[in-house]
């Protein structure tokens, strides 16, 4: 969400029908699924609403795009979300919005918001198996949101980025402007209070327009009980926030590291150095081989002598790494093309 506005429901350049949501051609976004990792991404441009989430609005945001990447690391049982908010002045809206809002210049600074909607508290008669207001706890200092239900499964959210997030929690809130923290089960059905968590950060238009895009990495870690599946979570924020990520350890001693950048940058995990936009690496306990994936990669190197980096065959791929060589290289493609093994091995030094 941007400045309290939801993503626009009209289809820019894809259909004359403003409320159509099905693109006529595939979104140019990458995808991968194998035994170790599921990955997908998508993009969205433009934000409007007849009613802003926090009250009435008289404008829409027409110069911001959102890219989200989702990585499910199967051995760890956790997800990584990577969000990029970009200044996109080339966005053009339809001639006549359904809501007929004037195309005002977006205010500065931008306020970006992740919204997390939790299921309503446990009520078996209404098939609700979620969390009470006191069971969703926020630790702003640690940039952490976690549930605490002793009778069921739980969820932990961790944020890593160049900006400190501000959190707000709503549960059955209503005033003259808006209802927040509610679930309506169906048409005419009474609403059920639920927890909504809004995690927000700000950036000025000038900062964003200069190309200073700050990635936000979110870890989603579910657990079967009240014990976290993570035993360690270390932030990795570099280059004034232009590189962001984390190093994690699970209860099963599986190590995970992730680094993201809006443009190719030097991303380093252990002895593996990549000039890339995303590097995700994980290692099972007792194994020397690391597995992971790279996006937007233009070169690789092992060690500290960055001037010796080598180009790669494809910028987006999954891999195995034994400390010296890459193997099991699998291309990450746009839907419409099957992932293909490009080569069985490649020297990284």
What is the full per-residue pLDDT of the chain (349 aa) written as tens digits?
Answer: 888 887 765 544 444 444 445 566 667 789 999 999 999 998 887 666 555 676 666 666 778 889 999 999 999 999 999 999 998 876 655 443 333 344 455 666 889 999 999 999 988 888 888 999 999 999 999 999 999 999 999 999 999 999 999 999 999 998 877 889 999 877 666 789 999 999 999 998 889 889 899 999 999 999 999 999 999 999 999 999 999 999 999 999 999 999 999 999 999 999 899 999 999 999 999 999 999 999 999 888 865 555 455 667 789 999 999 888 888 989 999 887 544 433 333 444 3
Q: For residue 20, is it within any domain?
A: no
Torsion of CA 219, 225, 226, 229, to 10 degrees: -40
Q: For residue 249, is it within any domain?
A: yes
Please tell me the predicted confidence (pLDDT) of residue 171: 96
Closest C-alpha to 347, from 306, 300, 304: 300
CA 176 to chain centre: 32
| Number of structural domains found in the chain | 1
Q: For residue 6, is it within any domain?
A: no
Helix and strand element counts for the chain (H, E): 1, 24
Q: How far is it, in rounded angstroms, from Cα 241 to Cα 222? A: 27
Q: Which residues pair with 160 in a beta bridge?
A: 217
pTM of the shown model: 0.88
Contacts of 207 (CB under 8 A, 6+ apart): none
CA 10 to chain centre: 23
Q: For residue 244, is it within any domain?
A: yes
Q: For residue 24, is it within any domain?
A: no
Q: For residue 1, is it within any domain?
A: no
Closest C-alpha to 156, from 90, 252, 226, 222: 222
């Amino acid at each position: 969400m941007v400045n309290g506005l939801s993503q626009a429901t009209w289809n820019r350049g894809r259909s004359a029908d403003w409320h159509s949501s099905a693109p006529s051609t595939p979104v140019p976004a990458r995808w991968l699924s194998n035994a170790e990792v599921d990955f997908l991404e998508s993009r969205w441009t433009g934000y409007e609403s007849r009613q802003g989430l926090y009250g009435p609005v008289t404008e829409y945001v027409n110069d911001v795009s959102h890219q989200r990447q989702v990585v499910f690391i199967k051995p760890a049982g956790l997800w990584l979300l990577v969000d990029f908010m970009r200044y996109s002045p080339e966005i053009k809206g339809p001639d006549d919005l359904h809501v007929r809002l004037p195309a005002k210049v977006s205010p500065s600074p931008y306020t970006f918001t992740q919204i997390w909607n939790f299921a309503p508290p446990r009520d078996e008669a209404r098939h609700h198996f979620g969390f009470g207001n006191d069971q969703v706890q926020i630790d702003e200092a640690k940039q952490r949101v976690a549930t605490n239900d002793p009778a069921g499964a739980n969820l932990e959210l961790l944020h890593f980025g160049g900006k400190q997030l501000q959190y707000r929690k709503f549960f059955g809130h209503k005033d003259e402007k808006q209802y927040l923290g509610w679930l309506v089960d169906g048409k005419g059905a009474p609403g059920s209070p639920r927890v909504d968590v809004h995690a927000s950060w700000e950036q000025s238009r000038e900062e964003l327009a200069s190309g200073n895009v700050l990635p936000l990495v979110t870890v989603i870690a579910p657990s079967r009980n009240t014990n976290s599946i993570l035993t360690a979570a270390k932030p990795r924020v570099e280059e004034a926030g232009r590189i962001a990520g984390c190093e994690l350890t699970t209860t099963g001693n599986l190590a995970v590291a992730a680094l993201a950048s809006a443009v190719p940058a030097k991303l380093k995990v252990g002895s593996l150095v990549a000039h890339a936009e995303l590097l995700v690496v994980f290692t099972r306990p007792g194994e020397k081989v690391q597995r992971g994936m790279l996006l937007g990669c233009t070169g690789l190197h092992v060690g500290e002598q960055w001037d010796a980096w080598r180009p790669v065959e494809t910028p987006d791929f999954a891999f195995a790494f034994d400390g010296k060589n890459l193997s099991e290289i699998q291309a990450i493609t746009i839907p419409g093309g099957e992932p293909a093994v490009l080569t069985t091995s490649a020297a990284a030094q």
